[in-house]
Amino acid sequence: MRLIPARTFQKSVDRLDAQSQNLIKTTVMDLCLDLASQGKPRPGLRFHKLDRTVRDPGIRSVSASPDLRVILHQTGETYVLLYAHHHDAAYDWAARRRLQPNPETGAMQLVDIEEVTQIVTRQVTQTQTFLFREYEPRYLMSLGVPEAYVEAVRHATEENFDPLFEVLPEEASERLLALMDGELVLPPMPVPAGGDPFDHPDAQRHFQVTTDEAELQAALNGRWEEWMIYLHPAQRHLAERRQSGPARVTGSAGTGKTVVALHRTAHLARQHPQARVLLTSFSRTLSSRLDEKLALLLPDDRQRAQVTVMNLHRLASRLGRQWSLPHRLLADEELTGALTRAARAVASDLPLAFLRAEWQAVVEPRGLRTWDEYRAAPRTGRGVALGARQRLAIWKVFEALQAELRRQGQTTWGLLCHDVADALATQGPPFDHAVVDEAQDLGPAELRLLRALVAAGPDDLFLCADPAQRIFRARSSWLSSGIDVRGRASRLKINYRTSGEIRQFADRVLGEVRSEEDLPEARRTINRFSGPRPDVRRFDTRQAELDGVSRWIQARLGEGLRAGEVAVFTRARSATREDALLRLLGTDIQTLEADMPHQLDRLTVTTMHRAKGLEFRAVVLMDAGADVLPSPAALQDVQDPADREAVLEQERQLLYVAATRAREQLLITHVGAASPFIQAEP
């Protein structure tokens, strides 16, 4: 006898309330015991076949309570747990499903029959060019398309393939997407004659086949999250593969880069018991989330102790203090004052805005300390070309600024990263491996520090990045910072987080996306589910907007979402707005300070920057008007056209980041005209 939980079962249990979850788990444990000891379930479980409306004769039901049902499939001594829900919903679900091996690959598949019928019917009216018409049905099936879907696939068009790809088994959607991208797609090896349909790698993405009783118990006990078990083969490959040097993983928002970073970290710690592993990112909030998740994936204390989870700036600051380097940071607003004093000291009349931009774009990120370094530094991307005399005049100001910083024992993040990198050259690298999430936000200073933290060699650096989510730093070349990922770059293509509708809205916000090395990035992804379209609403007054937002949130809570599953993001913080929301909603709010654990009973209200790397079931992007996004403060005093472009790109990407935090529902509100980045539906 074997009992196999399907991914659909675990997901369905996850959506139920805690009491129902317990009832389901107890029932499944009882079933497991009965099958192992007596070969059949006890009568109290009311194990029975479903009536004739169910398409698959192997489908059975078990009662977990008068109202709760577990749907499973029986073939001989193999029982597959498929789904759990309240009576009617469970039976409706079961009526539409069929569990059967794919005729060509032999891999076990769960097919939604009713959805196919609807898709085929919808597609008959389409007259556009068909994407897969030229392929033989057998070839399509050999790519993992279930037989029932072959006709629908052959009628798919560029305009309507999205909903089809959402219902097809992931592996089939992926291979079809590769065909669309012009790749030659070879079918996977089929299950050998007489082999087990659950043994095929395609099946293992959907069914947790294990002979290990403890693993099964853990799965049933709910000490798991989907991302911890059902890795996509591309994700697993990236997490476990030996890399000959620095590697790069990209993918648009929600494609599981963080999940890969976590699995990679856990894998390195397990594989190399003596190794010191760094798991890092730019943002502090994200680092705390990484820490919480790694604890789930790496429960072993000894392995967990091998890993340091810390954002790069904090690590730099800690090492700087340890080695008595200047580590008192100059706040952003202090920089203007310090620059004014430096310019006065050398009697310079260069415009302050220009000096500030030159410092922030050229000197500070590269850690330039001497006139010779500045004279030789490339100023690629800066709008104004400078002659040697102009450069010297500018350098005089920076020299005075650096002298003042030294006198005060002050530094900036960029300079600190460079100082620590210099010190590491003599101290030696403290880590054997580093895994970086959100690596697109690292500038030259952080990249140099990263390189210095880990000795060059196999499996040294593993960087996950989405160039469309760069919101803290202008683009900078990894190659020029000594990080060469050529030949070791991969892209993830399945969006696990957001509905197709939210993803399309967010994609329309973006312009062309270019990589760190200024190459165009491919971004096509497959979505796994659909949902309501994002709602863009205009209000006449701030008060009307507040009322509208709080009504929308109340409606989500009324639908059963927990406060911690809802978030409000704004371009800038406003205590008045937070207070008003608090009063209107009467619920507790977390403003998400960097190290705070995520509390499920509190609504999150925070800035779009802090939203980075997080996710919520419902999100409001509030106050997204033309007067707010792009932020006038961010653009103030930016005169160089190239700098202006870079700021505008970051502001646009900020909206993309914030919008893609939503899993299911997204509301965007504004007073007056909407931000120019928000594109109406075509």
Ligand X SMILES: Nc1ncnc2c1ncn2[C@@H]1O[C@H](COP(=O)(O)OP(=O)(O)OP(=O)(O)O)[C@@H](O)[C@H]1O
Q: What residue ranges bind ligand X (CB under 6 A)?
A: 226-227, 230-232, 235, 251, 253-259, 466, 469, 496-497, 613, 615, 660
Min. distance of Cβ 648 from ligand X in angstroms?
21
| Rounded Cα distance, 91 and 51, in Å | 10
Question: Is residue 539 classed as helix, strand or coil in its secondary structure?
Answer: strand
Min. distance of Cβ 293 from ligand X in angstroms?
9
- H-only helix segments in 59-101: 87-95
DSSP E strand boundaries for 87-204 = 97-101, 108-112
Closer by beta carbon to ligand X, 231 or else 357:
231
128 C-beta neighbours (distance < 10 Å), count: 12
Rounded to 10 deg, the angle between the 641-659 and 500-509 helix axes is: 170
Q: Contact 146/102 with Cβ under 8 angstroms?
A: yes
- Residues 247-284 as b/e (b if ≥16 CB within 10 A, e otherwise) read bbbbbbbbbbbbbbbbbbbbbbbeeeeeebbbbbbbbb
Closer by beta carbon to ligand X, 437 or else 545:
437
Min. distance of Cβ 365 from ligand X in angstroms?
23
Min. distance of Cβ 514 from ligand X in angstroms?
17
Checking phi first, is residue 106 left (phi over 0); if not, alpha (psi -120 to 50) or beta? left
Min. distance of Cβ 225 from ligand X in angstroms?
6
254 in a known ligand binding site:
yes
Closer by beta carbon to ligand X, 11 or else 46:
11
Closer by beta carbon to ligand X, 253 or else 509:
253
251 in a known ligand binding site:
yes
Residue 454 pairs with which residues in a beta bridge?
431
Min. distance of Cβ 483 from ligand X in angstroms?
19
Min. distance of Cβ 496 from ligand X in angstroms?
3
40 in a known ligand binding site:
no
| Rounded Cα distance, 511 and 646, in Å | 12
- The structure tokens 């429960």 sit at 299
Checking phi first, is residue 54 left (phi over 0); if not, alpha (psi -120 to 50) or beta? beta
Closer by beta carbon to ligand X, 69 or else 661:
661
Rounded to 10 deg, the angle between the 444-453 and 312-322 helix axes is: 60
Min. distance of Cβ 492 from ligand X in angstroms?
7
Q: What is the DSSP code string of 622-651? A: -S-BTTTSS-HHHHTT--SHHHHHHHHHHH
> What are the C-alpha distances in Å from 403 to residues 123, 157, 406, 411, 511?
71, 65, 5, 11, 42
CA-wise closest residue to 497 among 282, 324, 255? 255
CA-wise closest residue to 348 among 389, 397, 386? 397
Closer by beta carbon to ligand X, 98 or else 612:
612
| Rounded Cα distance, 591 and 337, in Å | 30
Q: Contact 525/255 with Cβ under 8 angstroms?
A: yes
Min. distance of Cβ 608 from ligand X in angstroms?
13
Q: Contact 621/659 with Cβ under 8 angstroms?
A: yes
Closer by beta carbon to ligand X, 459 or else 615:
615
Closer by beta carbon to ligand X, 227 or else 374:
227
257 in a known ligand binding site:
yes
| Rounded Cα distance, 449 and 97, in Å | 53
| Rounded Cα distance, 405 and 355, in Å | 16
Min. distance of Cβ 678 from ligand X in angstroms?
19
Min. distance of Cβ 660 from ligand X in angstroms?
5
Closer by beta carbon to ligand X, 314 or else 528:
528
498 in a known ligand binding site:
no
613 in a known ligand binding site:
no
76 in a known ligand binding site:
no
Closer by beta carbon to ligand X, 92 or else 226:
226
Closer by beta carbon to ligand X, 230 or else 552:
230
Q: Contact 123/151 with Cβ under 8 angstroms?
A: no
Closer by beta carbon to ligand X, 286 or else 400:
286
Q: Contact 367/415 with Cβ under 8 angstroms?
A: yes
Min. distance of Cβ 236 from ligand X in angstroms?
9
- Residues 294-317 as b/e (b if ≥16 CB within 10 A, e otherwise) read beebbeeeebbebbbbbbbbebbb
Q: Note if the bond before 188 is cis, omega within 30 degrees.
A: no
Relative to beta strand 307-309, strand 526-527 is: unpaired
Q: Kindly state the tokens that stand for 589.
A: 């709010």
65 in a known ligand binding site:
no
| Rounded Cα distance, 502 and 113, in Å | 26
Binding site residues for ATP, as ranges? Answer: 251-258
Binding site residues, as ranges? Answer: 251-258
